[in-house]
Structure 1
Amino acid sequence: MDGNFDNIQELAYVESNIGNSNSRFYGEITQAMLSLADSPGSNNGTGLMQTLAAFAIRELYNKKTAAAKLAANKGNSCGCLRIELQKAKTVSLKKKDKEKKEKKKKKKKRLSFQHN
């Protein structure tokens, strides 16, 4: 290899010897390099390094967004629990208010019955 990738076998050979490239499947680096064949530096080490950097950034982005989603889901589950507790408390308070009103009505009935 002389620094330029004149044929796909050279690029595939380099890809097969790169470890931990953050690619999702074998051949993704080659595919990415070929899809940008008209871009400056795409047929040499510069384009290869840019592709490897892009995959590393993608991997970092995926980890960060996954962590953010997990944190958001944890927050939502606590939030849902909080909402459910508030609903239960509201229902309980409404039930107590209803019982108080019924007691007052019964008491009024007794008082009115006693006066008559």
Structure 2
Amino acid sequence: MKTKRLILIASIMIMLTAWIVITVGQKATVSSNLYLYILAFVVLLGIVLLANVNKKNKELKEGQPAEDELSTLIKYKAGYLAYMYSSYMWLFIFIFKDKFPTIESIIGGGILCSALIFTITKYRVKRTMNAK
């Protein structure tokens, strides 16, 4: 399990470093505030993923199963809802595509928003499933 955690941390750091090198190397056509927000989102996502890996490792050490019926149901329901919400998000992105400076920002923003939508949806579904 320690090897998986190290691989995860290393891959996050490599992706973050590559992203910083690429964005700093480019001539900024978009305000640098947008890059800071994206960087903050990527770092926050990495921290959340690392916390989830630590939680899973702790649960596995306690003898809990890795997957059960409820967690599978939560994952499928959250995926379905995230797909539906992301479809609407992409519709609005394409309607307001003239507000974005480049195609790369459209695609990158859409992917980041889709990940954020899935994270929020999974959190909400998990809360409602556990409340029953």
Q: TM-score over 0.5 for the alignment?
A: no
Larger Rg: 1
TM-score, normalising length: structure 1? 0.33
Higher relative contact order (CA 8 A, sep 6+): 2
TM-score, normalising length: structure 2? 0.30
